[in-house]
Structure 1
Amino acid sequence: MHIKHSWNAVPNNWVSLGRPPSGTTIDLYIALKPHRENALINALYEVSEPGHPRYRAHLTKEQVAGLVAPRPQTLELVNSWLEHHGISSSSVSMTHGGNTLKLKGMSLTQANTLLGASYQVYRHVERGETIVRTVGYSLPRALHWHVLTVAPTTSFVSPRAQWQTPRNHSSGETVGLVKSASGEPATMFSSREEVDYVTPPFLRWLYDTVAYTPNAMGENVLGVVGFLGDYPSPADLWAFMHKYCEADDATYEVVTINGGGYDPTHPHEEANMDIQYAEAMAYPTPHIFYSTGRGRSGTDDWFITWLEYILDQGNIPQTISISYSNEERNASREYALYVCDMFARLGALGVSVLVSSGNEGIGKGSCVNRDGMVRFLPRFPATCPYVTVVGGTTEYQPEVAAVFSGGGFSEHFERPPYQRQAVLTFLEDLGNLYQGLYNASGRGVPDIAAQAVKFRFFHNGQEKMDSGTSAATPVCPSPPTSDLGRPSLSVQLTANPQVVAGIISLLNDWLIMTGQDPLGFLNPWLYGRGRAALNDITEGSNPGCGTDGFSAIVGWDPVTGLGTPSFRKMLEQLF
């Protein structure tokens, strides 16, 4: 046995409560290394790079499985190891596209023996939630070349929604969303700057979606992911859509995963806000809300559980929004690589995944790491190179960076090819500032940005207001039309999108309606041709870790990425 991964101390903000109750079981995932190490990522870039002969010729599930398949020797060695420990073949299954062995319902006593581990119950000192993890585990030395990671083990990743503490506000005018220079409520959207509060009519004007109506309702789907067992309320959605969109038939499908819940009489604020703005932007496009629970006794992994489910589906939404994340430092590099690899599979299948950059600037608190050094704190899965990360802005004409917009550089992932020049330009401008506090060769976050402040939404029948980049990741169209031709974009407005997942869903709607494949993994297009559709943000910063943070400058920056998109301009860049 040789250590595969271990921490030299319990990760920050977690304390041990001792051994789990007798009889506690766990589902273990053994991630196997593929026979062809870079085959999946190479294929992903081929189908995602404009100008490549295979652009948007997305793969099938069978093709993806072939790219990630392990060596025959790998399966032989791992199965031999499991048999040696008396693990029945009936409790072992292949999952996640064929490169993961799932050991279902294993006792923790057996798991400790198998992995040389010591599973305990850990509680988060701020949030109070508990999980079952170990601070270290081992594998036979011969398996280190064949196994990427085993999960859940040492990754203390417990996602939470990326939004600020909600602030209650009484209901106000539907149209008076911003203040004029005189401070009086405005009834038209013209040359005002300070956003008082945000609702769908304002977003439709600001992000230039007024002239477009979705038509591919039978094929195009927008998915919204909820963790922590979160779920929305159809009554709150009705109140929201009735007031702001004059649409009383908006609905969504709920899929519960691993003990996820759905009691419409007791909804969660984050889920309500996400589904309301997703519906407001893409209605009448079908929506699916995934309520993912924690499973048994805190032994399950949120991200892996949801990814296992979604990758096993025959039909996956073309656009998926995720508002939850955790500090990257709480995930081992191997675990992060494994989860990120599954996001890459979604991209190869033609799915656009958008995630929040976080709401703590470059990091909360002192940001002292386990070695006693200050280090900025990017968030995961935002640091994964195969998702599109959305930062936050506020105000308009011009927009500026929201002070809480998450950003920075990954400690686990190298800078991807599509980012090289854009990020190098920023680093040259930054010079030696913050040298040693971040990984200058890491994947930069975010990719793009959008409004993230003062969103009106309904919760338990009451109208409220909140801020956060989770809103920027999920956004009312005109009434449905029978015109199935090329969308009219004659409305002359200068606009930038707020809810990026909604914008991408509209782009996918147009592609599908015209007989084309959806966008899939967005970033190579965004950093290339799509960059012409982005409004550069050059003001503001994201303070944290006792510093002023990074600044928004001309070009890409780790506060607002490449900037905020315009739907009309993005549609033009599809040709």
Structure 2
Amino acid sequence: MMHNWLSTPLFLAALCFSLCAHSTPYSIKERHPVPDGWDLLRRAPLHGKIKLHIGLKQGRFHELERHLIEVSDPSHNRYGQYLTADEVNDLIAPSKDTLSLVQEWIEECGIGAHKIVFSIASDWITLDLSIGDAERLLQTEYSEFWHAESKTLAVRASEWSLPEHLHSHVESVQPTSSFFHAAGLAAKIDFPRSLYVDKEEGAGNPDIKDLNQLAETLSGELSESLDLDDLPSDLKASQACNTSAVTPLCIRALYGTLTYEAQAPDQNAMAIVNYGGEFNNRSDIDLFLKAFRPDAARAGAAFTFQEDNIAGAINQQTPATASQLSEKMGREGNLDAQALLGIAFPTAMISYSIGGEAPAFEPDKYTPTNTNEPFLTWLHHALAQKELPQVISTSYGDIEQTVPYTYAKRVCEGFAQLGARGVTVIFGAGDSGVGKDGYCRSNNGSDSYEFLTSFPASCPYGTSVGATRNIEPEEVAHNERNGFVSGGGFSRYFPRPAYQNAHGVVSSYLSRLGDNTYTGLYNREGRAYPDVATQGYRRVIVWNGEKFLVDGTSASAPTFAAVIALVNDALIAEGKPVLGFLNPWLYQKGFEAFTDVTKGSNKGCGTDGYFAAAGWDPASGFGTPWFPRLKELALERKFRSQRPWYWPYL
């Protein structure tokens, strides 16, 4: 029987391409290698569905960045004068030329104008298309890729093209070559999402016979020896802490928030973001608060925090299924919520949940995966809101090199927009030191040996938080039994920002490290992280009705966010602007409120990694916060009470 070559995928693709003619030829806009761990399954079915996000060149992002730095710099007379949503949108809106040329391109490819959905600032276009239409638009081929360890299916194209006259107008199209998936590779590579130490892993450890019993005993000891509703003002961390199981009481005593009473909880909010099917189980949170923050439990804090479910997400409250329990689903979400409420109650909390497939999704040849990009989906939603929480913590991330630069850049610029509006954005610094042994290779085709960097911790428009362990003194967190090591390093995508260069703290550390140490393994000119650190070792959580101990910067990020939320509370009560984008103030003055961490290193990639040292270092940043001093310095900030008449054209 003669083969019908007219029905082959390559012919169909060629036919599709021929129907999308333009006055200028197509050329490749971006090519990105398939990361390790992803296996090609098959050509994606042309009739499958895909949601394309097209990032247009923003009109005046450099002006937005200037505004961001000026309103975040305590030495500037515009400090604290944050932009409104409308002002931000006006600055980043694409030019009329960009909008008309891109819309013309889409329509010439046979895609109706009714399918074009613009973001609130018109800098992103969303198109719900068949895979065949997407291939015609981008002159590419989509395939299905499978990641066995995380059980994740992705529909991706390793390269894509545009008409040459559009290369300067379109900055990013996703999903294409990006294999970024916060709930997938992060678990494989043990970057921020991963949590460590469950009962099985700890059973053989001589000082932890039964983690659940240890946490139960600790809870009982605290309730018998201390009245958690009437704590002494002079309670020391040495009295409140058991470093085998770290509780909110320990954190509050260690960082000085224990006796602070919130004054403006109705005007202040903090938030967490759930990706990859994670959820915040209210019953588990209530059990946690009853044990470790009874005043919050009596107030019903576990049942009154706000949910914002996006792109079909569900913040699941029914019991976890056997499959979810095997994947430890909900453990990350519970940790984030319990860390925030355990420290910063009664500050209002918002939980954002982002839609997407669960890690246990089984692929079907004719059923493509949900291809929503998680950070992008959340940013589109958040930036469209007129009101936002003052601090947002994200405990998820991926290896920077697995995210194409154009996509990482646009996501990072989205965080800059949040900062310009007065939002403090916080990320975990990663959980594998400078890179997990066996994975420290470039994916650019050279396979060169190098340290790995975590994204979005490497974004210069957020504050990155490392992990510590022990007290008196604290040290860089690690756990030999499970491979956890607090992350840190230097971005290969983003240059070192001015706030790090201005005061020489990074260059000073590099001088101590030496020019010949780790030559070629890292980018000496890159954005350095973490900025700060908090406890991230053996943190007590409640998951599936039981107490567990976990390690990770996933614990450190919401802990620091909770401390910042309380500083914001004090500022709001005094009628002053909240902290907003933290880093310019942090590197100029705020660092004085941090306890230096000088012990330990973030080893990885077969090396000792970066050592902790006096001052800033890429293992612990400036160290851990002392809330009384942090609040004092924040309240001392000087700013104009009103905007000048010529705002915002400064």
Both proteins in one fold, TM over 0.5: yes
Structure 1 position 548, deviation (Å): 1.3
Structure 1 position 277, deviation (Å): 1.3
Query: Is this contact kept in 1: 2:594–2:622, CA < 8 A?
Result: yes
Q: Where in structure 2 are the equivalents of 1:29-68 lying within 5 Å?
A: 29-68=53-92
Q: Which residue of 1 aligns with 2:106?
A: 82
The reply to whether residue 451 of structure 1 matches residue 523 of structure 2 is no
The reply to whether residue 415 of structure 1 matches residue 496 of structure 2 is yes
Q: Which residue of 2 aligns with 1:140?
A: 163
Structure 1 position 234, deviation (Å): 1.1
Structure 1 position 195, deviation (Å): 1.5
Query: Is this contact kept in 1: 2:279–2:315, CA < 8 A?
Result: yes
- 2:274 is aligned with what amino acid? G
Query: Is this contact kept in 2: 1:175–1:188, CA < 8 A?
Result: no
Q: Is the partner of 1:11 in helix, strand or coil? A: coil
How far apart, in 2, do the equivalents of 1:157 and 1:446 lie?
A: 21
Q: Where in structure 2 are the equivalents of 1:484-523 lying within 5 Å?
A: 499-523=559-583
Q: TM-score normalised to the size of structure 2?
A: 0.81
Q: Residues 182-220 of structure 1, C-alpha deviation per residue, up to 9 Å, x if partnerless?
A: xxxxx9743899712100111111010012111222221
Q: Is the partner of 1:527 in helix, strand or coil? A: helix
How far apart, in 1, do the equivalents of 2:307 and 2:89 lie?
A: 28
Q: Is the partner of 1:59 in helix, strand or coil? A: coil
Q: Which residue of 2 aligns with 1:100?
A: 124
Q: Which runs of 5+ in 2 are unaligned?
A: 1-25, 184-191, 200-210, 223-234, 321-329, 358-367, 479-484, 637-650
Q: Which residue of 2 aligns with 1:430?
A: 513
The reply to whether residue 190 of structure 1 matches residue 238 of structure 2 is yes
Q: Is the partner of 1:98 in helix, strand or coil? A: coil
How far apart, in 1, do the equivalents of 2:473 and 2:561 lie?
A: 22
How far apart, in 2, do the equivalents of 1:97 and 1:519 lie?
A: 25
Structure 1 position 175, deviation (Å): 6.9
Q: Which residue of 2 aligns with 1:215?
A: 263
Structure 1 position 69, deviation (Å): 1.6
Q: Which residue of 1 aligns with 2:27?
A: 2
Which one of the candidate residues 124, 130, 143 is aligned to 2:147? 124
How far apart, in 2, do the equivalents of 1:513 and 1:192 lie?
A: 29
Which one of the candidate residues 108, 111, 120 is aligned to 2:134? 111
Q: TM-score normalised to the size of structure 1?
A: 0.91
Gap change, CA 1:229 and 1:32, over 3 Å in 2: same
Which one of the candidate residues 276, 282, 286 is aligned to 2:338? 276
Query: Is this contact kept in 2: 1:447–1:562, CA < 8 A?
Result: yes
Q: Which residue of 1 aligns with 2:545?
A: 461
Which one of the candidate residues 133, 150, 153 is aligned to 2:173? 150
The reply to whether residue 228 of structure 1 matches residue 276 of structure 2 is yes
How far apart, in 2, do the equivalents of 1:264 and 1:323 lie?
A: 21
Query: Is this contact kept in 2: 1:48–1:55, CA < 8 A?
Result: yes
- 1:519 is aligned with what amino acid? L
Gap change, CA 1:89 and 1:319, over 3 Å in 2: same
Which one of the candidate residues 295, 299, 314 is aligned to 1:261? 314
Higher mean alpha-carbon deviation, 90-99 vs 132-141, is at 90-99
Which one of the candidate residues 353, 376, 388 is aligned to 2:451? 376
Q: Residues 422-474 of structure 1, C-alpha deviation per residue, up to 9 Å, x if partnerless?
A: 11111111111001001111000111011100111111211111111111111
Q: Residues 65-110 of structure 1, C-alpha deviation per residue, up to 9 Å, x if partnerless?
A: 111121211112111111110111111122153311222x111101
Greater helix fraction, Structure 1 or Structure 2: 2
The reply to whether residue 394 of structure 1 matches residue 469 of structure 2 is yes
Q: Which residue of 2 aligns with 1:306?
A: 378
Q: Which residue of 1 aligns with 2:42?
A: 18
Q: Which residue of 2 aligns with 1:355?
A: 427
- 2:450 is aligned with what amino acid? R
Q: Is the partner of 1:65 in helix, strand or coil? A: helix
Structure 1 position 412, deviation (Å): 0.5
Q: Which residue of 2 aligns with 1:240?
A: 288
Query: Is this contact kept in 2: 1:95–1:101, CA < 8 A?
Result: yes
Gap change, CA 1:20 and 1:176, over 3 Å in 2: farther
- 1:517 is aligned with what amino acid? P
Structure 1 position 33, deviation (Å): 1.3
Query: Is this contact kept in 2: 1:393–1:452, CA < 8 A?
Result: yes
Gap change, CA 1:188 and 1:42, over 3 Å in 2: closer
Higher mean alpha-carbon deviation, 461-470 vs 123-132, is at 123-132
Structure 1 position 244, deviation (Å): 1.1
- 1:442 is aligned with what amino acid? G
How far apart, in 2, do the equivalents of 1:353 and 1:377 lie?
A: 22
How far apart, in 1, do the equivalents of 2:538 and 2:281 lie?
A: 20
Query: Is this contact kept in 2: 1:193–1:395, CA < 8 A?
Result: no
How far apart, in 2, do the equivalents of 1:48 and 1:98 lie?
A: 26
Deviating beyond 4 angstroms after TM superposition, the runs of 4 or more aligned structure 1 residues are 191-194
Identity of aligned residues (%): 39
Query: Is this contact kept in 1: 2:44–2:143, CA < 8 A?
Result: yes
How far apart, in 1, do the equivalents of 2:548 and 2:246 lie?
A: 11
Aligned residues: 540
Q: Residues 325-380 of structure 1, C-alpha deviation per residue, up to 9 Å, x if partnerless?
A: 00001011111110000000000011101110010111113312231211111111
Gap change, CA 1:518 and 1:30, over 3 Å in 2: same
How far apart, in 2, do the equivalents of 1:401 and 1:5 lie?
A: 38
Structure 1 position 37, deviation (Å): 4.5
Structure 1 position 243, deviation (Å): 1.3
Q: Residues 462-498 of structure 1, C-alpha deviation per residue, up to 9 Å, x if partnerless?
A: 1111111111111xxxxxxxxxxxxxxxxxxxxxxxx
